[in-house]
A and B are shown apart, each in its own frame.
Chain A
Amino acid sequence: MRAHFAEEIDWSDPEQVLDTAGASLCDLAADSALFLEAIDELSVEQLEPTLGGGGAYWFRLAESDEDDLSIWIRFCPTGCVAPPHTHRSEILALVVSGTFKQTLIGLGGGVDSPDHPIELFVRHERPGQVFALNRRQKHETSSTAGSLILAAMPVTTVAGLADSSPEVIDDELKTKAETAIRRLQRDAKEILGGRSSDGRVRSLI
């Protein structure tokens, strides 16, 4: 992970996050062997995945206290619609597959801005799009079935990401999470190819 993220990330500023780590996240996604191995090693017991508002599963792939960096994937086995929400931490995200529509909500700030939050941006993110947002930025998202996002966040991030009370997966949801993981592992091979790595991920997680 250090090899990919060489620079220290200032999480307080999304522009700096994009500048210092955006290309690194793209490089990490392009390292298909490493990425596939990380997905292959996912398990409900090991990673305590969370189910975000709208039905997206979040899995933590790796983290480094020293670098204040954690790497996550967000996967929607079925289509996901998340109502307006903020996040508990700053996020840098890369759309790997599927499409991801997001509407940024807030006060515009320009001339004749409405005095209440409105839809500011409507964005149709496609694979390859990378973006960073901070904890203040409210957005509404919808993702196509099978969509996959690779994300980086500060390591201080706790399980559960949205302010809409994400659900920690308990026994009742475990079966669903395991199904999602199997679907992700199958889809990832189609998206990223079938190469294997050298066990590097095991040492990172």
Chain B
Amino acid sequence: MLDVLDRLTVDWTDLDRATAVTDALLHELAADKDALRMLVDRPAEDDDLLAQCECHRLLDKIVLYDGLDRGFRVRLHISTSDHLDRPHDHRFSFSSLILAGSYKQVRHRIVGEVPDSVAPGIQEDHQAVPIEARVEPEFATTERVGSFYSIHHSVIHTTIMEDDTVSLFIRGPAEKERSLITDRDTGKLWWRYGAKGESPERRAQKVMDLSKFEMRRRKLEVLGIT
């Protein structure tokens, strides 16, 4: 599998073509448990990969392979027990294949203008500021084991997951400096940046050290993923 990944290039300028490539790759990887286990073991031996793994409030991200110079990075996502309705976009386009659990996914349209004037330092939910724009659902589905989709970075969507939902995830390169996130209950907005744009406090909160990584690795075994 590493040979395949080492040769792969993904062009996200054509979402349809990127989908064809990532569909084949993610399904092949999901069907090859030995390969998946080998990739999940890598961050324990590779400090660069471990440094890219992150703990978030709604999910944990384990980086399996970094080929971002060729247009992709492969991750496993494991949802936590926090489930909040937070419409957001991403800095990159991506594809996802659900391996365990399920979740509701809603695609929203924005009604009104998202103000560009919200300060870059607003990066935490407790700092969020109210905005007049709101979201309206246009498409909703229930993702379950085997569901697969690709999504453009500009899409505003919500995913409300069951505990321990696991997704095999492949992202493209960042296409913008920041993305937005809102809370549907409060109507407030804050920003999300890549690692280089985040405050030291924010970075510190997300760190997945080796002991946290090992807990996630064991959880994947218990869930039957590896």
A residues lining the B interface (CB < 8 Å): 13-15, 17-19, 22, 103-104, 106-114, 118-124, 126, 128-134, 136-137
Query: Which of A18, A19, A130 has the most B CB atoms < 10 Å from its CB?
Result: A18
B residues lining the A interface (CB < 8 Å): 15-16, 19, 23, 88-91, 104, 106-110, 114, 135, 137-142, 144, 146-156, 175-176, 178-180
B154 touches A18 (CB 8 A): no
B16 touches A131 (CB 8 A): no
Interface of B (DSSP majority class): strand
Contact of B175 among A17, A19, A112, A136 (CB under 8 A): A112
Residues from chain B with Cβ under 8 Å of A112 in the complex: 153-154, 175-176
Contact of A136 among B138, B142, B144, B149 (CB under 8 A): B138
In the complex with contacts A22-B142, A111-B89, A15-B137 CB distance below 8 A: yes
Q: Write the nearest CB–CB distance from B85 to chain A, whole angstroms.
A: 10
Docked Cα-Cα span, A71 to B16, in Å, equals 32
Query: Which of B90, B137, B146, B151 has the most A CB atoms < 10 Å from its CB?
Result: B137
Residues from chain A with Cβ under 8 Å of B110 in the complex: 109-110
Docked Cα-Cα span, A103 to B149, in Å, equals 10
In the complex with contacts A110-B179, A110-B180, A111-B178, A118-B152 CB distance below 8 A: yes
Residues from chain A with Cβ under 8 Å of B141 in the complex: 18, 123, 129-132
Residues from chain A with Cβ under 8 Å of B107 in the complex: 104, 120-121, 137
Q: List 29 A-B contacts (CB under 8 A).
A: A13-B137, A14-B139, A15-B106, A18-B141, A19-B104, A108-B89, A109-B89, A109-B155, A110-B89, A110-B110, A110-B153, A111-B89, A111-B180, A118-B154, A120-B151, A121-B139, A121-B149, A121-B152, A121-B155, A122-B15, A122-B16, A122-B150, A123-B148, A123-B149, A128-B146, A129-B142, A131-B142, A132-B140, A137-B139
